[in-house]
A = this chain, B = another copy of it.
Amino acid sequence: MQRPTIADIALRAGVSKGAVSFALNGRPGVSEATRARILRVAEEINWRPHSAARALGGARADAVGLVIARPARTLGVEPFFARLLSGLQAEFSSQSIALHLMIVEDTQAEIEIYRSWVSERRVDGLVLIDLKVRDPRIAVVEQLEIPAVVVGGPGRHGRVSSVWADDRAAMLSAVEYLAVLGHTRIAHVSGLPEFQHTQRRSRALRDAATRLTLPRARSLHTDFSDAQGAAATRKLLAGAGRPTAIIYDSDLMAVAGLGVALEMGVAVPHELSIVSFDDSVLAQLTHPSLTALSRDTYRFGVQAAQTMMAVLANPTKTKNHKTETPRLITRESTSPTRN
């Protein structure tokens, strides 16, 4: 038989469509007795709402959108996304909210997707990641007037809510730790320079270097890939006055860098200390295991989802949720300098 509609329920229960709608949505306007009867009939004929019909009336889509503008191939490699995604989705699941996911080439395409999803009412909100320095998405999201959460602030994101960790404090703690161990030549293999978090970390390193008078502190930009992480390491270790410590912006690059060091005969940690700005099994399973700035990325995703749901509940209120600052976990890849 055809899919049952509320009209069928109304017919069987002997009431009007409106009454059925009220009853099914737990709104006032029907007596408890009638409500119970309607629910029973709905159950009997196995009725389910037609989301499209609901959406036409302006109701929720019960989905949140996430667009990732990075090469698809790199995503499977980078543990960060997968963990963030599972955290996000785990929390959304508890409210039966699905994640509408799409991977695109660039920010322009991403914006196009936002426009169409919003105008087609496919999603109730958007999660933005990889905030850039002058990010064009912010204006678009504000103009579209859709609830949104930026993962990774704080920065210029106007009235849009955000969830962020204190990258600066984390970087400072890593640099100070290395300085205490006697390191003065500290390098930083960072991510894409257009990302705000990359900039914050690089700036924190510069500031710390000035304060602690570390002469050769510098950041080398990469695209986050293990290949470029390895290349940057090779360049650093081949040059004169090579660093005695390197901080990597991702554990994947740190592991790649470790491989290069071993290959070049540079002993870790005795000749080179390595710190990863991201922690995962990857960092724990290498030998030597990697000292890392650790945070619970899964939990970060959960908090992003919670913020999203708060914004959905009250779209006018901007929330800026600061999560725990990544803590330095010392493992085998760092040690005092030898002088």
> Cβ of A50: which chain B residues have Cβ within 8 Å of it?
56, 119-121
Q: A76-B280, A255-B281 are in contact. List 6 more A-B contacts (CB 8 A).
A: A63-B122, A73-B90, A98-B102, A100-B101, A259-B285, A282-B282
- Select from chain B the residue with minimum beta-carbon distance to A78: B82
Number of interface residues of A (CB under 8 A): 58
Task: Find out whether the CB atom of B72 lies under 8 angstroms from the CB atom of A89.
Answer: yes
- Please give the distance in Å from A151's CB to the nearest CB on chain B: 15
Task: Find out whether the CB atom of B116 lies under 8 angstroms from the CB atom of A48.
Answer: yes
Q: Does A326 count as interface, using CB distance less than 8 angstroms?
A: no
Given known A-B contacts A93-B102, A102-B98, A73 and B298 have beta carbons under 8 A apart: yes
Q: Does A81 count as interface, using CB distance less than 8 angstroms?
A: yes
Task: Find out whether the CB atom of A52 lies under 8 angstroms from the CB atom of B56.
Answer: yes
Complex Cα spacing A83 to B49, Å: 34
Hey, which bits of chain A sit against chain B, CB under 8 A? 3, 48-56, 63, 72-73, 75-79, 81-87, 89-90, 92-93, 98-104, 115-117, 119-122, 226, 252, 255-256, 258-259, 262, 280-282, 285-287, 297-298
Complex Cα spacing A83 to B77, Å: 7
5 contacts between A and B (CB under 8 A): A53-B56, A75-B85, A76-B298, A89-B103, A255-B285
Given known A-B contacts A72-B89, A77-B79, A120-B51, A100 and B98 have beta carbons under 8 A apart: yes
> Cβ of A103: which chain B residues have Cβ within 8 Å of it?
86, 89-90, 93
- Please give the distance in Å from A292's CB to the nearest CB on chain B: 15
Closest 6 CB pairs of A and B: A76-B83, A52-B55, A72-B90, A51-B120, A82-B82, A48-B119
